[in-house]
Chain A
């Protein structure tokens, strides 16, 4: 609740700064940290990417800045309306809403960029402005939450109440955690395996809250995993496909992305990547596909990435490059449908504890 007031105040202050410059007869300008690649550094202390000291100055006097400048002011205005009225909106919504104010964005990418600018200027994430991406990730497990969204204040929900899981949307993101019996979080890349885990009662057998990332985890989901890890003080384990892309899904949950270098509180530095590892492919003799050229290129990129300097990651990258094969999570089905839950999962949870 306090955060909402902070956000509103931040937006109002931003508007006031511009108003005052105009009122004094100046062309307004805004200073913000540069998000260019030269200004993105990996900070081992906070274990995520951060922005350096370089600043950019957006000036309304400059004709090339004028349009994005105006869009930024509009986005701030629009976000303020959303927060003040406790409404939420999606990135797509913002793109279309702009047209109602004759503030056309060229495409979705342009409007997304401006929203990122606003995040950078105010140092709040877009979810704080009630702007959410299209959701597709879900959570399932014994955790009781209490809503804070208008119309649901005080209502509680146990996250085992729906076998498909509960969508991690604006309402869940802003909910308070009430109580849980779980002692770990298991994040899963793919919907098929998430459903299997629910069917096989993984949440009971392993005392776990299951989170479906549905591919690369959205920011709200990353923030949610962080909250589970911090607020409930329970460890998080991540299961992905055994390929460079799956590996990176885990890494973004752990250490964040360069794109979100201007934001904090999206990472879970203590989360563990539990599989599928390249060495698992070898040890479990999993059915595989060959790595293609893009996979290999990606592996070489990751090998040089500061987030991957840990020996475990380096070992797995090397193994991938050696065996030149990849495997999906579903590959365990060759040993029967429950093998992954009965054999693989407990072994790996133990191994990465």
Chain B
């Protein structure tokens, strides 16, 4: 009989073995995911200071790897907040270390992406990563480091301190990785274009391995307010979260515990809840048994009188910026945007923003162009499964005078403290009733505006055509009848033509 051995693996080891989860499935997805993760970290780093981001990405070819894969060097530079020197090794060399464990709207969730990219580079090329960062003070710190996969610890190979004469602020990450840029190229470019669309205040520059330069220039300096951190809403908690709160709480009774650790719970609500759930207000939370914690969670979910979460922790793009982004990247003839009021699902607040664009440089391709965004990042895969796409497919577009052969683009942005992704791949939004309703209402709203636009244009078109017909034929009638009648001079028909115009408009 074989003996089963149990071993503990580190977080880094876990992701090393399961890198599909983070999107590093194959050489093509690997290079795409690496670019994407670093760009998103850079955007977050700039936005947290409300500085318009300036991000420079360079992917350069360094050698052959396999039959279809090559080795590239990826360098991403931003003008963000910078990382304090003592945090640099852990922030870039230790998986699941980071600043992203609080409840507010953010692009990443686990602080995983950037490190996964470095980890992926390390396991495919065995090269260390270079991280240079400054918070804008007098020094710049440069680290050469590697991840010790089994122990999930950063290994510092080299550390330098430079004088920051120009007070540069930002972060540069550079490492080698294996990948297939040829196949990843369309996705990377699409990703950058769509990122530019929902971040119209960002400058994105990309130099690809062939030396081609792609620039996405900002059209505004205006930025949405950064999201505020918030407490968890009672409807959204699970046992694990409760346990952690109990561990860290300084409060010694349930009344204070509830009042201070939960979103939208004040004195009255806390009192009412304790009555409802039959818990003594003076009970010490640290004394709750495991069963009592489970019961507490159930009661929290059952209590009907919690106010819905408010949206102060969300940072939607706003109608003005969404319009600017769509106009800049798609150059359409017409845009309608709409921001829905905040709503919630399972204790998580969310806001849906919808835009519809028509004509201009949008191609006619027999179906709509669809852009999906979650917390200002584009979702590029699994379009057909997404709730917004399903909603679009079930809509009766003819009601809005819209047909599939029209040049139409639709963008749906959901922002939330917890995006309801359906799968760990995080590529599409689950079909949740509350989300579906918001998307549907948003789509209807912008579609009605498009319909008004189309109707008005049709009317103007028809009027112009009408006038064209009169100004084409009346002169001929005048000419031929004059010749038939043997008259010298054509009758004056200008007045008649003017009459047609007045009548028409």
Given the known interface contacts A22-B491, A25-B496, the answer about A16 and B485 at a Cβ–Cβ threshold of 8 Å is: yes
Q: Is A103 an interface residue (CB 8 A)?
A: yes
Q: Is B404 an interface residue (CB 8 A)?
A: no
Residue pair B476, A22 in contact (C-beta under 8 Å): no
Residue pair B477, A69 in contact (C-beta under 8 Å): yes
For A24, give the chain B residue with the smallest CB separation.
B491
Residue pair B484, A28 in contact (C-beta under 8 Å): no
Cβ-defined partner of B491 (8 Å) among A23, A69, A70, A77: A23
Chain B contacts for A330, CB-based, 8 A? none
Main secondary structure of the interface of A (DSSP, over half): helix
Residue pair B474, A15 in contact (C-beta under 8 Å): no
Q: Is B482 an interface residue (CB 8 A)?
A: yes
Complex: how many Å from CA A60 to CA B477? 9
Least CB distance from B497 to A in Å reads 11
Cβ-defined partner of A67 (8 Å) among B469, B482, B491, B493: B469
Complex: how many Å from CA A11 to CA B483? 11
Residue pair A11, B477 in contact (C-beta under 8 Å): no
Chain B contacts for A11, CB-based, 8 A? 484
Cβ-defined partner of B484 (8 Å) among A16, A60, A69: A16
Cβ-defined partner of B477 (8 Å) among A18, A23, A102: A18
Task: Report the tally of A-B residue pairs with Cβ distances under 8 A.
Answer: 75
Residue pair B476, A73 in contact (C-beta under 8 Å): yes
One digit per residue, 1 when the CB lies within 8 angstroms of any chain A CB and 0 when it does not, for chain B 405-433 equals 00000000000000000000000000000
Residue pair A12, B486 in contact (C-beta under 8 Å): yes
Chain A contacts for B480, CB-based, 8 A? 15, 70, 73-74, 76-77
Residue pair A67, B485 in contact (C-beta under 8 Å): no
Residue pair A67, B484 in contact (C-beta under 8 Å): no
Complex: how many Å from CA A117 to CA B330? 53
Given the known interface contacts A25-B496, A27-B496, the answer about A18 and B481 at a Cβ–Cβ threshold of 8 Å is: yes
Q: How many residues of A contact B (CB 8 A)?
A: 26
Residue pair A15, B473 in contact (C-beta under 8 Å): no
Given the known interface contacts A63-B466, A66-B470, the answer about A19 and B476 at a Cβ–Cβ threshold of 8 Å is: no
Q: Is B160 an interface residue (CB 8 A)?
A: no
Given the known interface contacts A12-B484, A16-B485, A22-B491, the answer about A63 and B477 at a Cβ–Cβ threshold of 8 Å is: no
One digit per residue, 1 when the CB lies within 8 angstroms of any chain A CB and 0 when it does not, for chain B 448-478 equals 0000000000000000001001100110111
Q: Is A126 an interface residue (CB 8 A)?
A: no
Q: Is B495 an interface residue (CB 8 A)?
A: yes
Given the known interface contacts A63-B466, A63-B470, the answer about A22 and B478 at a Cβ–Cβ threshold of 8 Å is: yes
Complex: how many Å from CA A19 to CA B486? 10
Chain B contacts for A74, CB-based, 8 A? 476, 480
Complex: how many Å from CA A76 to CA B476? 13
Residue pair A19, B473 in contact (C-beta under 8 Å): no
Chain B contacts for A12, CB-based, 8 A? 484-486
Residue pair A67, B473 in contact (C-beta under 8 Å): yes
Chain B contacts for A102, CB-based, 8 A? 476
- Beyond A22-B491, A73-B484, A77-B483, 14 extra complex contacts between A and B, CB < 8 Å: A12-B486, A14-B484, A15-B481, A15-B483, A16-B481, A19-B484, A19-B487, A25-B496, A66-B469, A67-B469, A70-B473, A73-B477, A73-B480, A77-B481
